[in-house]
Structure 1
Amino acid sequence: MFGFLRRKPPPVKDFGFLQTDMHAHWLPGIDDGAKDLTESLALIQRFVALGYRKLIATPHVMADLYPNSPAIILEKLELVREAVISSGIEIELSAAAEYLIDEGFTDLLQHDNLLTLPGNRILIEFSFVSMPANFAQVLFTAQAKGYQVVLAHPERYSYLHDKPEQLRKLVAKGVELQINTLSLTDHYGTAVRKVAAQLLNEGIVKWLGSDAHRMDHLDKMGRFSRQTDREIVLRGKWHNSQL
């Protein structure tokens, strides 16, 4: 009797409240995301099913591995746009990039050869081994040039897990933080999940991105089932709808 009183809240399967996914790898054949146009379209259709209205592709830019340029990225974007229109898929598509702070990034920054998110935002990532030694100078230069720096998935840098003050200092210096949706599950492990929740509880996270590379990433997003997942996602003060 009264079993309905014990029902869990429904899973978060519709991410339409975000409106925009601002970090994903669905452009075909230029990084470790979608391999071809067929996979690109499948991923985009899944995003639509999850409730998104706009998608911003952010392919990797790494000097040694993925030397993508704005021209390469925008050419792929146009290819996907044409295929989406031909397929009758209703979604707004755009593109920026996810820049690794490596030996090539300084040159790209100096020459303003960057593809940014709306608001002149640069989505950057650190190595998973260590924080870049020159980041203070990179941040100073970027801000002096009028860029807003967004740090991708800070919860995944294990070397910062016991140094939360470093992330707080970055936020104080004007860096915006973006966490991955899957970090709010155990996809990357419990340590990452705990850090993601801590950052969110502190109110210092601005963006939520899927960072989807493959269909199983989106499938896992569609299977949020625990109450804690739902509560964490829905209480976040996300700014994605501004993009």
Structure 2
Amino acid sequence: MEKDFTDYHCHIVPAVDDGATDLEESFAMARILSEFGFRTVVCTPHMIRGCFENNPARVTSAVSVLQGHLNDAGIPLQLVPGCEHYLDEFLPELLLESVHARPEDRRMLVEVPFRDGPELLSSMVERFFRLGLEPLIAHPERCRAFEPQVREHGLHGALFSVMGWQKTSELSDDSTIMATKRAGCVFQGNLGSFAGRYGNEVRERALLFLRHGLYSCIGSDAHRPEGLAEMLQKGKEAITAEVGEEAALTLLRGTLLQSR
């Protein structure tokens, strides 16, 4: 069966952010991604004012150059230009620049700061929709703003709470991630989160969000080739064990996101 997976979050473009440092690393990552089953890779270098100034024109040019090299090397990956937009006070200005540069591209990957709370999130989401944009929130399982409030029921849930175990069967409607979903946002999970790359707490949170159907697509969030193949496989196995083969393939293909 043709896998035709889509990687919605990848730092494969060389020398533009903290991802691949040179063409050799980009090639190594591309080969691993292709062998795993990815056919399309959305290139999402960081766009952070004062740190990584990756405007749409620069990204499009760099992606075009890398695509040419991959074609010459016979690596069957289709690259798509994108960006990972950092949620900070500079984002509104960057959003306007992106809208003018790519008026046809309405979906934008957004990284919520890992350690910040949700204070800036709701107002920024409103701004996105006023501009006719759809926020795709990157790896919410890694962000403190989305720490889940959970609802337990009865003696069984109380026992798990007393023992210090996390038995989280139902997300509270008051959870920030549920409110953000109701506002119209969609979410991208990291394969590395499911594989345990960021620790057990992030892994369990990713599985919780997965069980509640919060993810519309998956990304590698790959920055380097080292350990990438193992991480991709372990992440896929964890997703499959949780929701089954068909649902795992749907996420890896981005079918839910493409149908919106």
- Does residue 105 (structure 1) correspond to residue 115 (structure 2)? The answer is no
CA shift, 1:133, in A, is 2.9
Q: Matched residues in 1 for 2:131 and 2:235: separation?
A: 44
- Does residue 68 (structure 1) correspond to residue 49 (structure 2)? The answer is no
Q: TM-score, normalised by structure 1?
A: 0.84
The verdict on how the C-alpha distance between 1:97 and 1:207 changes in structure 2, with shifts beyond 3 A counting, is same
The verdict on how the C-alpha distance between 1:225 and 1:83 changes in structure 2, with shifts beyond 3 A counting, is closer
Amino acid at match of 2:14: P
CA shift, 1:135, in A, is 2.4
- Does residue 200 (structure 1) correspond to residue 210 (structure 2)? The answer is yes
Q: Residue 216 of structure 1 is aligned with which of 210, 226, 241?
A: 226
What residue in structure 2 maps to residue 44 of structure 1? 30
Structure 2 unaligned regions, length at least 5: 150-170
Number of residue pairs matched by the alignment = 229
State, as a whole percentage, how many aligned pairs show the same letter: 27
Identify the structure with the greater helix proportion.
Answer: 2
Q: CA RMSD in A?
A: 2.6
- Does residue 240 (structure 1) correspond to residue 220 (structure 2)? The answer is no
What residue in structure 1 maps to residue 182 of structure 2? 172
CA shift, 1:20, in A, is 0.9
CA shift, 1:219, in A, is 2.1
Q: Matched residues in 2 for 1:72 and 1:212: separation?
A: 20
Q: TM-score, normalised by structure 2?
A: 0.79
The verdict on how the C-alpha distance between 1:114 and 1:97 changes in structure 2, with shifts beyond 3 A counting, is farther
Q: Matched residues in 2 for 1:88 and 1:68: separation?
A: 27
- Report if aligned partners of 1:24, 1:209 keep a CA contact under 8 Å in 2: yes
SS at match of 1:122: strand
- Report if aligned partners of 2:136, 2:186 keep a CA contact under 8 Å in 1: yes
> 1:100-132 CA deviation, whole Å, 9 max, x = no partner?
01122111123445777x862110011112135
Amino acid at match of 1:193: R
What residue in structure 2 maps to residue 140 of structure 1? 126
The verdict on how the C-alpha distance between 1:110 and 1:101 changes in structure 2, with shifts beyond 3 A counting, is same
CA shift, 1:26, in A, is 0.3
What residue in structure 2 maps to residue 77 of structure 1? 63
CA shift, 1:75, in A, is 1.4
Q: Matched residues in 2 for 1:115 and 1:20: separation?
A: 24
- Report if aligned partners of 2:194, 2:235 keep a CA contact under 8 Å in 1: no
